[in-house]
Structure 1
Amino acid sequence: MSRREDLPAAFDEPVFAEPWQAEAFAMTVALHDKGLFSWREWADALSAEVKKPGAAADGHDYYEHWLAALESLLSAKGVAGRVEVDTLAAAWERAAHATPHGKPILLENDPQLDRGR
């Protein structure tokens, strides 16, 4: 049995630096589990993003590439195009700015939301 002091130094560090990284990871796994893409397709999409010029040598932008790969696959599969993704991202950004500190960010907080639907 291993002892705690035998574990790597980074063992106690969080796996994800930001909540959105965990959410992107979870969405990717869920969409794969639903059969939207194979792991080979995912690996190819992520590899293409990571290999693009301008990627950080230390990998601090890894989950930005992860998210770009996911968006690329969603577009390629006809699930959500770039315009749809960008529109929804902008709505979440507005909702975040309109939400009081300490309150949950809800898309309904977007001041530009069409409430007449």
Structure 2
Amino acid sequence: MSRHEKGRPLPSGIDEPVFSEPWQAEAFALTVALHEKGFFSWGEWAEVLSAEVKAPGAAQDGSDYYDCWLRALEKLLAAKGVAPQHDVDQLAAAWQRAAHATPHGKPILLENDPECGQ
């Protein structure tokens, strides 16, 4: 996104991207979309995210903020019955296997999981 996209400049002093990795932006967008669809309130979200950020082992400097964000999203969706943790774990494992099975320079596709369709 450019500094002046949609006529809204970034606040002064922000010269770096807001997200350091594409997955962080995707997790953020997914959270907003799920809230807009009514899966959870912002109050619920704030409570679960706050618990993750304050959890033992969380980085004091906030460097793991989006890791906390993702864990909070997974926990909230599991609690709501939208995406049970077991299903999330299985899908994550499938993507990991697909990544390892994909030749360098090629797109990682879930179909590349050697266990896909078994």
Name the % identity.
72
* Deviations, residues 52-91 of structure 1 (Å, cap 9, x unaligned): 0111111110001000000001101001111111000000
Distance 1:14 1:61 in 2: 16
Name the Cα RMSD after superposition.
1.6
Can you give the 5+ residue segments of structure 1 that lack an aligned partner in the other structure? Answer: none
Q: Does 1:95 align with 2:86?
A: no
Q: Give me the TM-score of the superposition, normalised by structure 1.
A: 0.87
Can you give the 5+ residue segments of structure 2 that lack an aligned partner in the other structure? Answer: 1-8
Match of 1:30 in 2: 33
Number of aligned residue pairs: give it: 109
User: Larger deviation: 94-103 or 24-33?
Assistant: 94-103
Please point out which of 80, 85, 89 is paired with 2:88: 85
Q: Give me the TM-score of the superposition, normalised by structure 2.
A: 0.86
| Deviation beyond 6 Å, 4+ runs, structure 1 | none
Q: CA deviation at 1:12?
A: 2.0
